[in-house]
A and B are shown apart, each in its own frame.
Chain A
Amino acid sequence: MKLLCTFATLVVATALTGVAHAQTRPSQVAWDLKTVNFIKSGQAERGKTLHAACVDCHGATGVSPSPDFPDLAGQDPLYTYKQLHDYKSGVRVNAIMQGYVAGLSERDMADLAQFYARQKRGGGNATPVPDAAAMTLVKLGDGGRMLVACVYCHGVGGGGNPGMYGMPALEGQKGAYLQQTLHAFASGERHNDVYRAMRDVARRLSPTEIAWLASYYSGTTVAPLAAKPASVGSAPASAPAVAPAPDAAAPSASEPVASAAGSGAGWYTPVQAERGGKLYAAQCAMCHGAALGGGMGPALAGRSFWTQWGGKPFAVAWKEVHAKMPMQAPGSDAAPVSIDILAFLLSRNGVPAGSAELNDRADLARALPAR
């Protein structure tokens, strides 16, 4: 028996390690000679053809028409290639981009990277705002907080740094995108930076400092975000402006919510479940499957949902999700984010909707229906 227990523990531990590893695995792109030469050999002409699919968000020449999408024009080709590669391998997560890169070959990525590298950088009027506070961070960093100066990697003025490998140019980039990206690094939601360099920098920056830096590099005025936004990464701040990608997993609000029998009052509002759906698609679908059917992580619909959480106080599910997820940065989601995601999970399992939003106070004591 003892032996059996030990064996079972080992199996579970191995499985868990595997899951953890899969979710926190680093970028698959390393700057060896083969990779660098491969990217150098990318054909911009071919990249231009491939770019046709990207025009809507990133503009005809890689200069985005919307403040929410990043410019790609004039970007370091190694950087662009790595991001595409990371999207495809799931190391960088974004529901929209995941859909677009799925069909790209490595050759396509190199060609696109070379096409963007040859385009004229956007933000033509964007000479960095000579803001003294931002300049201090940019040029000197802050030794007391172990903050290295931006110039060492991104070059003076953020123009990039070809002497290093895969360092993005920041000059003239969209302010909102820069801000969202730094917040995403800070929360660990974006984690495809080599040696955690950007995560270590970003988590030491205050929202105000992030706004200064975004203003400085974009040459525009960026207001600080009051709190860390719900879903960041490359996803824009103004969520409603985003059209879901064709194959994005988020279920639409119009999808009928199965109503469970009995149990009286509802648990969440449909609007809340819809918000949660978007968050789920961005943060959870990677492992738990677009249809909650499981993948690298366990399924969250049907039997596995009900055996784990059915009939128990909602607090059990809340603790599980809010404290332990997402896997690569447990506990990093703000409470409203976790609550919305849970509302979405309840809706997909047929727990009834109601007139009040699900919350992490009174609702914690309520028992979920059992199946």
Chain B
Amino acid sequence: MTTNIAPAPSGRLVLAHVWVAFLLFGVALLLGVYQVLARDGVLGSHAASYYASTTLHGVVMGYALTIFFITGIGYAISERALGTRVWAPGLAWLCFWVMLAGTVLAALSILAGKASVLYTFYPPQMAHWSFYVGAALLVAGSIGWIVITLVMSAQWKGAHRGQNLPLAQFGMSICALVWAWTMVGVVLEVLLQLIPLAFGLTQSIDVNLARALFAWTLHPIVYFWLIPTYVFLYTIVPEEAGGYLFSDEMARVAFVMLLIFGLPIGMHHLYMDPPHSAGFKLLQGIGTFLVVIPTMLTGFTVWASLEISGRLRGGTGLFGWMRRLKWDDPVVLAGVMALFMLILGGFGGLVNAAYAQNAMVHNTQWVTAHFHYIFGGVAVTGYFGLAYYFWPRLTGRALWAPKLALAQIWLWIIGMNILSLPWHYVGLLGMPRRIAYYAYAPEIAAQWLPWTGIMIIGGVLLCLSGWLLLLILFLSGRTLPASSATMAGGFARPYEATAVLPRSLNGFALWNWLLLALMAMAWGYPIVQFFLVKQYPALPWGFS
């Protein structure tokens, strides 16, 4: 892979996106602290504020932080990987403002207490129309990034016939495609069901259809969140660690598998929903387990890449190389920790994917604990690494207090475990999710209390860590110019030179067709059935 030392031409564009993402992140972390306190009961019971807070926390973390961060850092990765400027920067800025307007609109309606429907929207509980319109604008704006990313890939391939699309850009293109396919479900739900109902154009809603469409989105969105972190693990961490990428081809196979296996599996969120037959649940359940393959490929490839760097730095023995990793580099530390959290989070995911075990943890705090591991522990830890890697390259200035950045990452990982390990456990003890307070079974709730108390510590540490990140990034704009060595760092080179790949692994057309077939098979009838079988639509709730 060629090393590109050009300064980031679209630095302001990227920084605008990432600052919005991280400032919202800071707010959502404060809400998280409120929520662990509320669940422990120390604040008394204020159901209305709890649900508003949970909604804002979920919407900001799951949608706003991710979309702003991924689109912003996506532009940076594309520029550096391809050595060209962002295609149509005007469109990128327009989309940024559309996304921001949507976020503000949705946030205001949540803060006004008019949209406490949680980030899963589930009707017939209804929010004010401004919430759905805001969410739709946020998603609509991100379509610009999808187009820009894919156009940049196509243009580069046109100009570099017979060459492999750089791996980082290949991964981000897969990320854009995953997001395009993923959003279809929720976009259909919001545009065809929720917005007409919120405006009074329709009077009732088919809740089962809405849930099916949302489940279409709700699982693969996780891969949209994760793929930038995987790109980070494959293309930045090995280079930063002073080694090589173990296998470029393996990485591409993993990305392609995430695209085609990651999409048609959302029905494991509906295992307990009656409208779907056991056969479709089984089909999508098997698909869910297939995602283990690209996840394992990623784990082993990145682990092998780290081992190469450890041994190049003089490490020996079965595990001795680990001590020689660059533990003092925040970028490397973020990568190693993201991988570590993937192991813990993946374990919980296997439980959720297994039908019988899912029945036991369904709607318990186990589920929330699981997605905090995957989202906060893996995806967001990768975002920290990406931010620390790109900040000097975007601002031209050295990172302020790199040691503090190390502390920030350690604080995050420790906090996440203090939060999420007991969280899983109280889930196994039967603590339900989506409940504002637990006064209804005091003798049972009493056995959760010690653990919910520990979770408060985890929540506070996470919040401190997040605000430390904001401080470091803010002060990094005022430090000395970055060294040219820092500025020059490129993407990881593969350990063995990559052969010219077959067209299928250098493009996306085949995989999109295959995915279309898989989606039709997995979701075709489960969605069409709502138009074939007589339905009993529900009346909206929460209207006044």
> Which A residues lie at the B interface, using CB under 8 A?
31-33, 36-37, 140-144, 146, 162-165
Contacts and interface: CB of A to CB of B under 8 A. Distances in A.
Given A33-B203, A33-B204, A37-B203, A165 B442 contact: no
Contacts, number: 32
Interface string B35-67: 000000000010000000000000000000000
A32 B539 contact: yes
A37 B543 CA distance: 15
A162 B544 contact: yes
A163 B442 contact: no
Given A140-B45, A162-B544, A163-B544, A33 B440 contact: no
B314 interface: no
A32 B536 contact: yes
B474 interface: no
B542 interface: yes
Given A162-B544, A163-B543, A163-B544, A140 B536 contact: no
Contacts of A31: 539
Top 3 closest A-B pairs, CB basis? A143-B439, A143-B440, A163-B544
B542 A163 contact: yes
Contact of B442 (A32, A37, A140, A143): A143
Contacts of A146: 440-441
B441 A143 contact: yes
Nearest to B439: A143
Nearest to A142: B439
Interface in B509-537: 536-537
A141 B47 CA distance: 12
A165 B440 contact: no
Contacts of B45: 140
A142 to B, nearest CB: 8
Contacts of B97: none
Secondary structure call for the A interface? loop
Contacts of A142: 439
Contacts of A144: 439, 442
Interface in B187-211: 203-204
Nearest to B438: A143
Nearest to A148: B440
A194 B442 CA distance: 26
B327 interface: no
A137 to B, nearest CB: 13
A142 B441 CA distance: 10
Nearest to A152: B47
Given A144-B439, A162-B543, A163-B542, 5 more contacts: A32-B539, A33-B203, A141-B439, A146-B441, A165-B541
Nearest to A146: B440
A140 B543 contact: no
A165 B439 CA distance: 26
A164 B442 CA distance: 28
Contacts of A33: 203-204, 537, 539
Contacts of B537: 33
Contacts of B539: 31-33, 36, 165
A165 B204 CA distance: 13
Interface string B464-490: 000000000000000000000000000
A163 B541 contact: yes
Contacts of A143: 437-442
Secondary structure call for the B interface? loop
Given A33-B539, A36-B539, A165-B539, A140 B204 contact: no
Nearest to B543: A163
A309 B454 CA distance: 68
Contacts of A141: 439
Nearest to B440: A143
Contacts of B442: 143-144
10 contacts: A33-B204, A33-B537, A37-B203, A140-B439, A143-B438, A162-B543, A162-B544, A163-B542, A165-B539, A165-B541
Nearest to B540: A163
Interface in B418-459: 437-442
A146 B442 CA distance: 10
A142 B439 CA distance: 7
A143 B537 CA distance: 33
A32 B541 CA distance: 12
A36 B543 CA distance: 14
A165 B541 CA distance: 8
Contacts of B441: 143, 146
A36 B53 CA distance: 32
B61 to A, nearest CB: 27
Nearest to A151: B47
B2 to A, nearest CB: 60
Nearest to A147: B440
Contacts of A162: 543-544
Contacts of A165: 539, 541
Contacts of B536: 32
Nearest to A144: B442
A360 B537 CA distance: 54
Nearest to A161: B544
Nearest to A155: B544
A164 B539 CA distance: 9
A141 B204 CA distance: 31
B209 to A, nearest CB: 16
A140 B47 CA distance: 10
A33 B441 CA distance: 36
Contacts of B203: 33, 37
A305 B542 CA distance: 54
Contacts of A36: 539
A186 B203 CA distance: 36
A143 B435 CA distance: 13
Nearest to A30: B536
Given A32-B536, A33-B203, A140-B45, A164 B439 contact: no
Nearest to B536: A32
Nearest to B202: A33
A54 B181 CA distance: 61
A142 B438 CA distance: 11
B527 to A, nearest CB: 22
Contacts of B439: 140-144
Contacts of B204: 33
Nearest to B47: A152
A96 B204 CA distance: 37
A165 B539 CA distance: 9
A143 B443 CA distance: 10
A36 B536 CA distance: 14
B76 to A, nearest CB: 45
A74 to B, nearest CB: 16
A149 to B, nearest CB: 9
Given A33-B203, A37-B203, A140-B45, A164 B541 contact: yes
A150 B440 CA distance: 15
Contacts of A37: 203
A316 B541 CA distance: 52
A164 B440 CA distance: 22
Nearest to A165: B539
Q: Which of B45, B440, B536, B537 has the most CB of A within 10 A?
A: B440
A195 B292 CA distance: 43
Contacts of A32: 536, 539
Nearest to A31: B539
A163 B540 CA distance: 8
B444 to A, nearest CB: 11
A31 B442 CA distance: 34
A76 to B, nearest CB: 12
Contacts of B543: 162-163
A167 B45 CA distance: 23
Contacts of B438: 143
Interface in B12-52: 45
